[in-house]
């Protein structure tokens, strides 16, 4: 798998709290030039980035990020606001506390509410896999598959751990056939990205691969 093929599956990510518009603008320029799947940027910059790139690049943003413990109503508002500003894809963080309690109905209801507010846009559900046991991750695969979301995503990149090959393989085994996987967190080389894709990931979240491609 060559670099360009990998880049077509990359969400070029800039979510640092201190990210400036100039940095986001540069990410958009790089993303367009290299043909990435999307740029994943802070909600604050979605409208400005959408106005800047027009229809030349997909804009992704985050909801309930990075901790996931906002109320469902807040997550729905964040989603609707992002969609109004021009977001094409939404990456939402689940309520990890509900999952730890085994309140799978609560987790499911929240994801479904956010999915409905996406108005047909792609929804990726971040489960922060490093926080959960094997059995909990299997249950999360089942719940996210039931929710109508488009992707299950391994990590925020702000947690205690990032994507692992083992989690990608586990997700592939337990999600529904039409569900896709985004591996994110700690993927810093094209070799690591290729391993994740070969394990079953469909999308890669990374902040360093574009810089490597630029040399």
Distance of CA 38 to the CA centre of its chain: 10
Mean pLDDT value across residues 82-91: 98
- Report the chain's terminal Cα–Cα distance, integer Å: 18
Active-site positions read 91, 153, 182
Q: Is the pTM of this model over 0.95?
A: yes
Q: Please, what is the average pLDDT of the chain?
A: 98
What is the average pLDDT across 42-51? 98
Q: What's the confidence (pLDDT) of residue 152?
A: 98
Look at the chain and report how many structural domains it folds into.
1
pLDDT, position 215? 80
Whether 116 shows a pLDDT value over 90: the answer reads: yes
pLDDT tens digits, one per residue of 55-86? 999 999 999 999 999 999 999 999 999 999 99
- Using one digit for the tens of pLDDT, what is the confidence trace for 159-209? 999 999 999 999 999 999 999 999 999 999 999 999 999 999 999 999 999
Query: What would the pLDDT profile of 140-161 be if each residue is shown by its tens digit?
Result: 999 999 999 999 999 999 999 9
Helix (H, G, I), strand (E, B) or coil at 115: helix
CATH of the domain at 130: 3.20.20.70
| Structural domain boundaries, residue 89 | 3-214
- The 8-class DSSP code of residue 119 comes to T
* Cβ atoms of 60 and 38 closer than 8 Å: yes
Which residues, at least 6 apart from 107, have a Cβ–Cβ distance to it below 8 Å? 94, 95, 98, 99, 140, 143
The whole-number pLDDT of residue 187 equals: 98
Joined tokens for residue 211: 């810089």
| Three-class DSSP category at 117 | helix
């Amino acid at each position: 798998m060559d670099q360009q093929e990998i880049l077509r599956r990359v969400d070029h990510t800039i979510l640092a709290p201190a990210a400036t518009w100039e940095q986001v603008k540069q990410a958009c320029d790089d993303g367009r030039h290299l043909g990435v799947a999307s740029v994943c940027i802070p909600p604050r910059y979605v409208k400005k980035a959408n106005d800047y790139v027009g229809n030349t690049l997909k804009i992704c943003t985050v909801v309930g990020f990075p901790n996931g413990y906002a109320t469902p109503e807040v997550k729905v508002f964040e989603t609707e606001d992002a969609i109004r500003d021009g977001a094409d894809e939404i990456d939402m963080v689940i309520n990890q506390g509900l999952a730890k309690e085994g309140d799978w109905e609560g987790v499911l209801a929240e994801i479904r509410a956010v999915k409905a507010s996406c108005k047909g846009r792609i929804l990726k559900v971040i489960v922060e896999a490093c926080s959960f046991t094997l059995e909990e991750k299997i249950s999360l695969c089942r719940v996210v598959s039931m929710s109508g979301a488009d992707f299950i995503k391994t990590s925020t990149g702000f947690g205690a751990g990032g994507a692992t090959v083992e989690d990608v393989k586990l997700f592939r085994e337990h999600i529904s056939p039409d569900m896709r996987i985004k591996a994110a967190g700690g993927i810093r080389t094209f070799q690591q990205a290729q391993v994740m894709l070969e394990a079953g990931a469909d999308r890669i979240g990374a902040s360093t691969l574009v810089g490597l491609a630029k040399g």
